[in-house]
Structure 1
Amino acid sequence: MVTTVGALKGNISEYRFRSRSEHTLDSKGRLNIPTRFREVLREVYTETLVVTNWEKCLRAYPVSEWEELEEKLLGQGQMEPGFGDFVRYVISGVTECTLDKQGRILVPATLRSEFEIDKDVVLNGMLHHFEIWDKTAWIEQTRKTRNRFPDFNSGLSSLGIL
């Protein structure tokens, strides 16, 4: 589907989840999805997301991207020793969330609680999916990454970026 839409709508690379934005959950746990992310969903995918727990944040995948990840877990993942624990953890948090008419999703209370997502959140684009972070956790993670930036030089160099 991605190739077809890309061919019809122009360069597919313009339809990726990029950048970050800060948001506030309402009292019911609804999260406004940024317009630029909704545009990616409308142009390339559907308005349904699969949200699940990850390491330090929630991840939100368009359904087709999530299905690709599941296939990898079913196929290649079974070959990895001890990988069942990872699969159990990630699959246990899976919730399908459809955008409402205002462009919001309801983040399940169980996931909000597990990641201490109370009110202030950061949405961070990761090209084919996006992350939902508690704002305080995001600030801490960003600080740690910034301090490790020299560690990325070898990888960036091998990709021809440096």
Structure 2
Amino acid sequence: MKKEGRPTESRFRSRSEHSLDEKGRLSIPARFREILHEEYNDKLVVTNWHKCLKAYPPQAWEDIETTLLNQGKKEPGMAEFRRYVISGVTECPVDRQGRILLPATLRTDFDLKREVVLNGMLDHFEIWDKAAWDAETRRTRENFQNFEQSLSTLGIL
């Protein structure tokens, strides 16, 4: 379903603010929908994470599951992590209006009531409660100097 001339690997970039409707449906930004439609047949896997939900194309999520199965058993505490993350895994197809339905359990666990932020993370995107997102970005800005050594090592600075 991929268009000719399109990069081999599309990325989820940028952020946008959206509102959940009364049924818990969330409109996916057009730039994210295009990637999901053209490359992943309008499919998405959503799961709970630390402070937000994470949304992955199916193949990216399958890669994570494979890593957890093959290598995660060796790491202490990984059974607990797997239990938590896998318990929230939900396949969320994108409907014709470009929305996904977030299950009530995931909405409740992350206090997603109305205003949410979708934040691109290149190979996946995050779904945050707006207030939690604002607090997290404030904290990140305050601690930005902590990233300078890692950025320098990567050749970004």
Q: Same fold (TM over 0.5)?
A: yes
Counterpart residue identity of residue 21, structure 2: D
Q: Partner letter of residue 149 of structure 1?
A: F
4+ residue runs over 6 A deviation: none
What is the letter of the counterpart of residue 76 of structure 1?
Q
RMSD: 1.4
Among 50, 58, 61, the residue aligned to 2:53: 58
Aligned to 1:36: 31
**Percentage of matched positions with identical amino acids:** 62
Residue correspondences, number: 157
Match of 2:18 among 6, 15, 23: 23
Alignment correspondent of 1:112: 107
Offset at 1:45?
2.0
Distance 1:77 1:138 in 2: 29
Task: Identify the residue that residue 5 of structure 2 maps to in structure 1.
Answer: 9
TM-score in terms of structure 1 length: 0.93
- Structure 2: gaps of 5 or more residues: none
Shift of 1:46: 2.4
Letter in 2 for 1:35: A
Secondary structure of the corresponding residue to residue 71 of structure 2: helix
Task: Find the counterpart in structure 1 of residue 119 from structure 2.
Answer: 124
Q: Using the alignment, how far apart are the partners of 1:9 and 1:91 within structure 2?
A: 36
Distance 1:39 1:148 in 2: 34
1:22/1:122 contact within 8 Å kept: yes
Measured in 1, the distance between the counterparts of 2:94 and 2:86 equals 21
Mapped partners of 2:144, 2:49: distance in 1: 22
Q: Which has the higher helix share?
A: 1
